[in-house]
Chain A
């Protein structure tokens, strides 16, 4: 038997296969298709302090090599997760991590505190691509001060594995990454989605929805390679 286990700064996964936040719901949506116990871990969808409706429709558009989306972190909030979701997923024999998002440093801290007591949540993934409403909406993860503020505050209240999911929409991701690690991140996950736009060349205009749209798709490989 081949040993596929991986060590993420002390957190041991039985294999390196995990599902990214936002692609796998709360895990249970896929139990008809895959045995969740086989995974090294799964990352629960972006969770905020309070429930969020997300952006108004349309918030998704198909492009030839992927899709644009601006869902806007629609979720029922961390309290709903703790009460209504966690009890049903905690018994899977795999790591369960929660992706957290906030509009202020205080919100990140509050979510981290609530999740820290859940035994089967072995890590949180901090989404720093959210706009900081106290700094005019600039994303936390696009500046060293922004990312330092979030990571250091969360680190103080969250003793388990702290993963920081970096934004690619920066000039120099290395300095952002170093800042996160300096403030206590145990691991980095790369990357959050790239900003994108689809242009109708016949109409000579962008597509029908254009608010903070993110692109995902096959041509990501070209970007990352």
Chain B
């Protein structure tokens, strides 16, 4: 699938807790075909000492509304800057990158992820479910406060298993 370098507008930027946030972006052009497990490289605007794009898994895709969701954990100056971006701001992205996951059909699939590692699993769950697969999903977090987006993963499975240390 061809890669693009495009501007995308931030439609919303939602803080989930003190660690995680989700931004929804809308590229200027119709979305390319995206496979779950692919990622994008995002240029952080307006910060002089941030030089490199940041790579993020594609968390969810809405082809009808032409939007991409990105789940981000704040770990440094780049992700902190992103957490403060306002709705309406434009960001530049290169996507879709990587090979992505291989989809199965009509199978039983176990998805396992921990912390921000759950990010690519939401879109994967959506795609697998649409292909007749039955899903079990295990999400791991350090603490109760870190548990995020459970309600979204529950859309694609009867059973979500938590594993948290405390």
Residues of A within 8 A of B (CB): 32-33, 62-67, 217
Q: How far in angstroms is the closest Cβ of chain A from B165?
A: 27
Q: Which residues of A contact B48 (CB under 8 A)?
A: 64
B50 touches A32 (CB 8 A): no
**Sorted from nearest, which 5 A-B pairs have the closest CB atoms?**
A64-B49, A32-B3, A32-B2, A62-B52, A62-B51
Q: Which residues of A contact B51 (CB under 8 A)?
A: 62-67, 217
- Pick from B5, B49, B50, B52: contact of A33, CB under 8 Å: B5
Residues of B within 8 A of A (CB): 2-5, 48-52
Q: How far in angstroms is the closest Cβ of chain B from A22?
A: 15
Q: Which residues of B contact A67 (CB under 8 A)?
A: 51-52
Among A32, A63, A66, the most chain B Cβ lie within 10 Å of the Cβ of A32
**Given A33-B3, A62-B50, A62-B51, 4 more pairs with CB closer than 8 A:** A32-B3, A33-B5, A64-B51, A67-B51
Which residue on chain A has the smallest CB distance to residue B49? A64
Q: Which residues of B contact A65 (CB under 8 A)?
A: 49, 51
Q: How far in angstroms is the closest Cβ of chain A from B51?
A: 5
In the complex, what distance in Å separates the CA atom of A64 from the CA atom of B51? Answer: 7
Inter-chain contact total with CB atoms closer than 8 Å: 19
Which residue on chain A has the smallest CB distance to residue B5? A33
B4 touches A32 (CB 8 A): yes
**What would be 6 A-B contacts, judged by CB atoms less than 8 Å apart?**
A32-B2, A62-B52, A63-B51, A64-B48, A64-B51, A67-B51
Q: How far in angstroms is the closest Cβ of chain A from B117?
A: 18
Which residue on chain A has the smallest CB distance to residue B52? A62
Q: How far in angstroms is the closest Cβ of chain B from A95?
A: 25
Q: Which residues of A contact B3 (CB under 8 A)?
A: 32-33
Q: Which residues of A contact B2 (CB under 8 A)?
A: 32
Which residue on chain B has the smallest CB distance to residue A63? B51
In the complex, what distance in Å separates the CA atom of A33 from the CA atom of B3? Answer: 8
Q: Which residues of B contact A64 (CB under 8 A)?
A: 48-49, 51
Q: Which residues of B contact A217 (CB under 8 A)?
A: 51
In the complex, what distance in Å separates the CA atom of A63 from the CA atom of B52? Answer: 9
Q: How far in angstroms is the closest Cβ of chain B from A191?
A: 20
Which residue on chain B has the smallest CB distance to residue A30? B3
Which residue on chain B has the smallest CB distance to residue A216? B51
Q: How far in angstroms is the closest Cβ of chain A from B24?
A: 25
In the complex, what distance in Å separates the CA atom of A33 from the CA atom of B95? Answer: 11
Q: How far in angstroms is the closest Cβ of chain A from B41?
A: 12
In the complex, what distance in Å separates the CA atom of A33 from the CA atom of B48? Answer: 25
Q: Which residues of B contact A32 (CB under 8 A)?
A: 2-4
Q: Which residues of B contact A63 (CB under 8 A)?
A: 49, 51
Q: Which residues of A contact B4 (CB under 8 A)?
A: 32
In the complex, what distance in Å separates the CA atom of A32 from the CA atom of B5? Answer: 9
In the complex, what distance in Å separates the CA atom of A82 from the CA atom of B48? Answer: 41
In the complex, what distance in Å separates the CA atom of A67 from the CA atom of B3? Answer: 24
Q: Which residues of A contact B50 (CB under 8 A)?
A: 62
Q: Which residues of B contact A62 (CB under 8 A)?
A: 50-52
Q: How far in angstroms is the closest Cβ of chain B from A19?
A: 16
